[in-house]
Structure formats: structure tokens, C-alpha cells
Amino acid sequence: MLGLSSRLVSSRRTIVLLSSVSSATGRQENLAPVDRPLGWPRGHRVSRTEGLHSCAHLLAGHNKWSKVKNIKIPKDIARSHLIAKTLNLMRACINKKGTSDPANNIELSHLVEFCKKNDIPKATYQRALKSDGSKNQEILIEARGPQGLLFLIRAFTDKAPRVRQDVKNIIKKRGGDVVSDGVVRRMFEQKSVVSCLHQLEDGSVLDADRAMDVAILSGAEEVLRDTSDDGTDIFMFIADKFQLNNVVSALTEHNLHILSAETPFLPTMPVPCSDDMLQFAANLIESIKGHADVLDVFDNIESQSSS
């Protein structure tokens, strides 16, 4: 789960736009219009025979960059650091939703599953579930890097001014700066992102047509088809940031195997970067994520070689 938000930002090689589709009764059903971010294609009506609308160029470079970045960074983090980050993410989820009950907190539920899969002791994450994080607050730090790079840094802390200064020092050493004019924030859009396996819980395989049906019923705005870091085929259901619980519930009812459910910030206009700049950015993000109170770093980066 740690760092998944950055990975989820990127996986947009194949897309379904659901602004207008045929319902099960055969009549046209107009869904709420999708507020398209800058640089995204306009609405496209997808027929049942057409399946998923292929937009191979769409954020493909950002996809490639994010996978490289997130393969590198987690492997460099010591297990103790990984555990500390995960527990802080859990506290942030509790603070945001106001409940420590995983049954009523979808993001927290998936963090608990992450702890189990990664052999984090139950007593350790149970302490996080019982801890009082009321003194902490979640903050977003806006930052600019060289050559038009933008970063949103999400942190959870009881010392916001200190964290801002720490992050500012890290970024300024590398030619960037922390800003507070809101321009960086407006270059990202927060969305619900639910990642699922192609194979359903009952053993059947989810094809493009069925994915479209499920997306419509769940209230998702679009479906993306991609592979995860380990090469597993996945569908990603994208929805309004307030619809995470509804989408998860609907996908669960349709026997989809959910891998993750989060509300990351997606870049509206990715910036192409050379390989040298990608390496520079990866090192910078690694340094920022090394801060104990930083939960995640979102960026607007894509690789120039997006094929």
C-alpha cells in the first residue's frame, strides 16, 4: 500500500469514457458529465463491440516514469521505515474519516490488509488503530522543481511549520522551492482510484464489456486497463473523490478482487522529462519521502519516451 498513490496516478494507457452509455434496458442513459482535466481527450462514446477505447498516448510516459520511480523508492526504504510510514498512513486515515473501524473506513481497511500481507505484527498496527492522532493534521505542501516539475507533498504531523521547513530545505538544495499560491494544487485533481484484478473471486475473467457494465453500476467515470508493477493485469476504476466507498461496495458485490482503494492526486498536465531529469526527480522524491511525517508525493512527470 505504501507509495501506491503515486503508482495509481500513472496507469492510463487504456481508457473508457462513460459520459453517455446504453443502459441494460437499451435506452440512452446520460451520466453526470466528466470534468475533463487539461490535456485529456474529450468524451468518447464507447460501443459494446468496441470495448475499451485505446488511448495509448494518454499519460503513457507518466505511467512508465511512475513505475520506475516506485520500484526504486520502496526497495531503498528500511523495513522499520516502511512500518513507521504505514502506521502514520493509518493514523491519517482515522483522522480523515473519524473512525478507527476498518469496516467503516475503506482506505484503513486496505492498510490493515497491507500490514497482514507484509508480516507487520498485529500488536504494532493495532496500537495505531487505538492511538489518538487528534493533535496531528494532514497538510499538503506545494512545490516547484526545475523545468516545470510540480509536486504535491502529503504529510500528517503535529508540527506543520517544521515539516514545511524541512521539505523546503530538501527541495531548495535541488533547485526548487515550496510555494503557497495554490497554483500547484490546481494542476492536480483528486480522484477515487480502485484497482482490481482481471480475475474475479469466482475464478471467471473480467472482460472489457463486463468492466464497462460494472463501472456504470458502480458510478465510476472511467475504467483503465494496465499491468501492475509485478506484471499482473488489472483494471482501475476512476471516480469522483467522494465516491470511493460506493465504488468499492459495488465492485465487491460483483465479486471483483480489489487490490487497493485510494484517493490520489492526478496530474492534469504531465511534463515530459529526459532520462537525466527522471533520475534527478526520483532522487528528489526519495529524499522527500525519507521524512518521517511525509505520507506521499504526487508529481506531474512523464517520460519523453512514452512508447
Query: What does the pLDDT read at residue 121?
Result: 85
- Alpha carbons 64 and 62: distance in angstroms, whole number: 5
Query: What pLDDT is attached to residue 6?
Result: 38
Find all residues with CB under 8 Å of 159, minimum gap 6, and list them: 293
Grid cell at residue 7: 503508482
Cα 270 from Cα 252, distance rounded (Å):
32
Task: Give the span between the Cα atoms of 134 and 293, in whole angstroms.
Answer: 15
| pTM of this structure | 0.67
Contact status, residue 239 vs residue 256, Cβ threshold 8 Å: no
Q: Which of 55, 84, 42, 18 is nearest to 218 (CA)?
A: 18
In the prediction, which pLDDT does 305 show? 56
In this structure, what C-alpha cell is assigned to residue 157? 504531523
For residue 304, the tally of other CB atoms under 10 A from its CB is 14
Q: Which regions in the chain score pLDDT beneath 50?
A: 1-61, 71-73, 76, 306-307
Question: Which residue shows C-alpha cell 495554490?
Answer: 182
Q: How far apart are CA 160 and CA 158, in angstroms?
A: 6
Classify the C-alpha dihedral 169-150-186-30 as positive or negative: negative
DSSP 301: E
Residue of 109, 95, 96, 87 lying closest to 2 (CA atoms): 87
3-state secondary structure of 276: helix
The cell for 299 is 508529481
| Residue 104: all three cell numbers together | 467503516
Q: Give 167-194 as a DSSP string.
A: HHHHHHTTT-EEE-SSTTGGGEEEEEEE
Q: Which three cell numbers stand for residue 118?
A: 507484509
pLDDT at residue 111 in the model:
87
Task: Please report the pLDDT score of residue 141 as a whole number.
Answer: 96
